[in-house]
Chains A and B, each alone.
Chain A
Amino acid sequence: MRTPNPSRRRRWLQLLAALMALTFVAAACGSDDDDDAVDDATDTATEAADDTADDADDAMEEEEDSDAMDEDDDAMEDEDDAMEEEEDAAPASDSANVVVVACGDGSSFATPSSPSTELTVALVAPSASGDLAFTQSMVDSLTALGIEPQVTDGTFVVEEAAAAIRGYAEDGIDVVIAHGTQYGGSLAEIAPDFPETSFVWGTSSDTQGIENVFAYTPAADQGGYVLGTIAAALTESGTIGMVGPVEAGDAALYVEGFAAGAAAEGADTNITYTGSFGDVQLATEAAEAHVSVGADVLTGTAQHVVGAINVASAEGIPWFGTQSNQTTLAEDLVVASQVYHWEVVLADIFAQIEGGTLGGEVYELTLENNGLVIEFNDCRDGAADLVAGAQATVDGIIAGDIDTGV
């Protein structure tokens, strides 16, 4: 069983930050290709959507500026800004719900220096910690809170997960996160046996009436709708292919929301549920089938999308991700990802537990509470051009002017 080591990750990030700083200095001091250097420095920050227009203006000014010294100064300023923005990077609740993630940064998750709670936390999850999907979103969120959980991952089999959940409770862990809808039945048996332990379960919109169970669920249809509208703008054939696992849970919410968003902008969506969360080969062929019927934009959900993304990569067509930022799978083709920032609700849950309340409440990730963040991929050309439209859709959903239809 692999237990993520945030302290090691932090060391890597510190090393990375140092290397980036050196890169910026080199970029700023270089006499050749200054414009590119300045652009790179500018691009390195994770930009809040509201700042995008200003940044674009800055970039234009920088490009028009012919004075090398001025450019160097600008570059240094941008570098400082970038570093400041990185240092300020906080959980998404403090930032925007539409962001552009700089090329190579991976995601907009924060990396705090100290844990946000003294509670001991364990995570039981159905797929691998680094699946670039459901489980990784939770691992990244806990890391963003500075928490180093004990992890049992890859427990798609409910009986194995139940043994792990019970084991952590017997070991006296304060909070056991059961990160899988399918674990509900096991929790109903286990949680009452450990009234001093808090169990956090998702995705579910029901605590099953158990006093020491919190539940959480993402309104994945919201981000899906936003991405669907963008996908509709990118498709030339008017057909978008979608690859999902089973028609249930957040996967179904995402698919339905995405289809509604695309339909609102006049695009058709063809939906395939493969019947499996992990069958990469099947997801690959499902994506191939979509392409064969004319789809020129693809999306999908669950860890098996690794295969579908490969098809997008081979065909050179845009991809939209969900759950985690999937940019690393196809840097030049992933347009944007809906990323689950569970830390938004986890922070509140942990505060409640520390206050003596061990369960009884249901939490939802939404665009409004910044638990759902639309992360654009800056490696792909034109990302900044799409931000304003996405933000408008997000604002419409939050204001209630847009209904995802789910």
Chain B
Amino acid sequence: MRDLFTLSVLVTVLASGVRLATTYLLAALGETIGQRSGVLNLGVDGVMLLSAFGAYWTALETENLWLAALVGMLVGLLMGVVYAVITLVFRAEQGISGIGIYLFGLGFSDLLFEEIVGTPTPSARLPTLSVPLLADIPYVGEALFEHNLMTFLAFAMVPVIAFLLFRTTFGMNVRAVGENPEAADSLGVSVFWVRFRAILIGNAMAGLAGAALTLRLGNFQNNLTQGLGFIAVALVYFGAWRPRGVMLGALLYGIVGALVLQLKARQIIPLEASDLAAMAPAVLTIVALVVLAGRVEAPSALTQPFSRD
């Protein structure tokens, strides 16, 4: 147990936690924009699965990781168009629509994988990059500045999304249609198009998250995400619909997961308690959500379809 608290072990846990947080963060940041506009998307996991397959297959065929990431994002965009049509044009109930998107993504990605690839086949993987100078900082450098490009991109997106939401006209409109679409509409803001764009951005980021996952693992199999997209949706609540809060939630979730794995690898957690320990990140998230409940407020028009009628 004493060995656990050495600096090198803590660095290892932090590095692993950052890696685990990457996918959650990308997906949750995108979902933050969508929810800020009043649109809940429970289909994030399905979008991630389809995008992950698209990216994986592209990497397998071309070994071009840039193209693979782009394909992942484009698949996300395409799914975003579908979801926008369902929720904005047909004004379908968002929760049910999201579940439908998830089930479609789960089943269709499985079908595509089995028909086109068949069995897990290693593909090209994202290489680990070191940030010049910063990676040389003792301990911290290894934990924070030696990751693949998607990890750096995910954390770089936090201030970008924050700027977009709180410092631009588009962001102001997003928040306005998420809080009071009628008022926004009366001021000449197109609720439809603002939400449409927010959905597209959210789904594109979910697609990027799926690509980040498969390109880091260098492989694919059915239900690769294992419900990761649902965790991302929960992290939006956890982070109180703010990019920084979402990032902290993703980091907490990732680091607790990494800590549990390190404790298991060191046999500090007995095998009998292994399954119990595996639930730790989820339990922590639930506890945090319970604690936060009532202290933060969701966008007032979240899940509410808008109609001038």
Residues of B within 8 A of A271 (CB): 264, 267, 271
Q: Residues of A within 8 Å of B, CB-based: how many?
A: 42
Give residues of chain B (246-297) contacting chain A, Cβ–Cβ below 8 Å. Answer: 257-258, 261-262, 264-267, 271-272, 274-275, 277-279
Residues of A within 8 A of B216 (CB): 281, 284
- B217 & A281 in contact (Cβ 8 Å cutoff): yes
Give residues of chain A (278-298) contacting chain B, Cβ–Cβ below 8 Å. Answer: 278-282, 284-286, 288-290, 292-293, 295
- A280 & B219 in contact (Cβ 8 Å cutoff): yes
User: Roughly how many angstroms separate A274 CA and B20 CA in the complex, as a whole number?
Assistant: 14
A154 proximal to B (CB < 8 A): yes
User: Roughly how many angstroms separate A247 CA and B271 CA in the complex, as a whole number?
Assistant: 8
A152 proximal to B (CB < 8 A): no
1/0 per position for B214-253, CB-CB distance to A under 8 A?
Answer: 0011110111101010000000000000000000000000
- B228 & A281 in contact (Cβ 8 Å cutoff): yes
Q: Residues of B within 8 Å of A, CB-based: how many?
A: 43
- A276 & B265 in contact (Cβ 8 Å cutoff): no
Min Cβ gap B6→A in Å is: 11
Residues of B within 8 A of A398 (CB): none
B121 proximal to A (CB < 8 A): yes
1/0 per position for B114-157, CB-CB distance to A under 8 A?
Answer: 11001111100100000000000000000000000000000000
B195 proximal to A (CB < 8 A): no
- B275 & A275 in contact (Cβ 8 Å cutoff): yes
Across chains A and B, the number of contacting residue pairs, with CB separation under 8 Å, is 127
Pick from A63-71, A128-136, A180-188, A356-364 the stretch touching chain B.
A128-136
User: Roughly how many angstroms separate A136 CA and B118 CA in the complex, as a whole number?
Assistant: 11
1/0 per position for A248-281, CB-CB distance to B under 8 A?
Answer: 0000000000000000000000111111101111
- A285 & B19 in contact (Cβ 8 Å cutoff): yes
Other-chain residue from B23, B221, B278 in contact with A274 (beta carbon distance below 8 A)? B278
Residues of B within 8 A of A275 (CB): 274-275, 277-279
- B217 & A310 in contact (Cβ 8 Å cutoff): yes
Min Cβ gap A313→B in Å is: 7
Residues of A within 8 A of B278 (CB): 273-276
Residues of A within 8 A of B224 (CB): 278, 280
- A282 & B261 in contact (Cβ 8 Å cutoff): yes
User: Roughly how many angstroms separate A129 CA and B277 CA in the complex, as a whole number?
Assistant: 30
Give residues of chain A (119-142) contacting chain B, Cβ–Cβ below 8 Å. Answer: 127-132, 136
User: Roughly how many angstroms separate A398 CA and B37 CA in the complex, as a whole number?
Assistant: 67
- B114 & A307 in contact (Cβ 8 Å cutoff): no
User: Roughly how many angstroms separate A247 CA and B23 CA in the complex, as a whole number?
Assistant: 28
Residues of B within 8 A of A273 (CB): 264, 271, 274-275, 278
Give B contacts to A, CB under 8 Å: 9, 12, 16, 19-20, 23, 110-111, 113-115, 118-122, 125, 213, 216-219, 221-224, 226, 228, 257-258, 261-262, 264-267, 271-272, 274-275, 277-279
